[in-house]
Chains A and B, each alone.
With several copies, the nearest count.
Chain A
Amino acid sequence: MKIRLNGEATEIAAVTLAAALDELGYGEAKIATAVNEDFVPVSQRESTALADGDRVEVVAPMQGG
């Protein structure tokens, strides 16, 4: 299905957030996730189903002031 990953249209086969992250190559990366502007903790990635058009955000640590 088609989701928006960090603002970019992206085609994925996976139907859960966890599977999508694997498919997209995040593997063990130190990341946090949100779907449709709501935070999804690690513990809920498995149980979070993705639907066509979902907005998925994946963020990682960066410099900050």
Chain B
Amino acid sequence: MRDFYGVTLKTPLMLGTAQYPSPAIMGEAFKASGAGIATVSLRREAGGERAGQAFWELIASLGTLVLPNTAGCYTVKEAITTAHMAREVFDTNWIKLEVIGDADTLQPDVYGLVEAARILTEEGFEVFPYTTEDLIVCERLVSAGCRVLMPWGSPIGSGLGLNNEYGLKTLRARFPEIPLVVDAGIGAPSHAAKAMELGFDAVLLNTAVAKAGDPVAMACAFAQAVEAGAAAHTADLMEPRDMATPSTPVLGKAFLE
């Protein structure tokens, strides 16, 4: 099994911490789903506010690994400074690198992304780049030192699933050694299962769980779906056939007409 910078995941599920109805529900979603990695972020805090403190204690209580992101950064400079602040606050070399190129689609700026990935790698970070499914971009990221790739399925928060299955398949075929995570756009467990059936190593979710009618139950549903997809990939799926064949051997059928 492919490892994430030396860490083997307990489960192929990574879960975001934003947009839940309440911190308690968020905590439940993690406990119930067994998600092994929680993505977190940073924001400005006023003196005496201590909101970050409270959130931090909640996260610490989850017993998951923490993956800080650089959400909302539009430049290499912002992303790098944010990464440094995150490393100090969260005490980890892991960084989910987001260099956003567009405020509507929130898609990666693949130019800033590769540059930031190279710099951060040189500075000792272990980079989880949020990228498109572009093979060439992914090769650049690997050359820059990334040992994990996190292509989007579709735009963040869209829930559209896997917009370019062909592109994701190509990545799996071309990076047999690199852990691949579908990050963003997954809206239903069937999408997550499909990603794992393609041979991906994990799925990173947030909106589909946090905005579900019942986030805790939905988190569990996704946990099962990713394990189902992973198991199916290992167990070797049947090839679809254009010709139908009987499930019941016709040999020895009684003659009754």
Contact = CB atoms under 8 A, between A and B. Distances in A.
Interface of A: 6-7, 21, 24-27, 29-34, 37-39, 41-42, 55, 57-65
Interface residues of B, number: 48
Interface of B: 16-20, 26, 39-53, 55-56, 59, 68-69, 71, 77-78, 81, 84-86, 88-90, 156, 206-207, 246-249, 252, 254-257
Nearest to B44: A6
Given A6-B44, A37-B77, A64 B89 contact: no
Contacts, number: 135
A65 B89 contact: no
Nearest to A62: B43
Contacts of A59: 42-45, 52, 85, 89, 254
A64 B47 contact: no
A62 B42 contact: yes
Given A39-B85, A57-B44, A62 B55 contact: yes
Contact of A61 (B42, B46, B84): B42
A37 B85 CA distance: 11
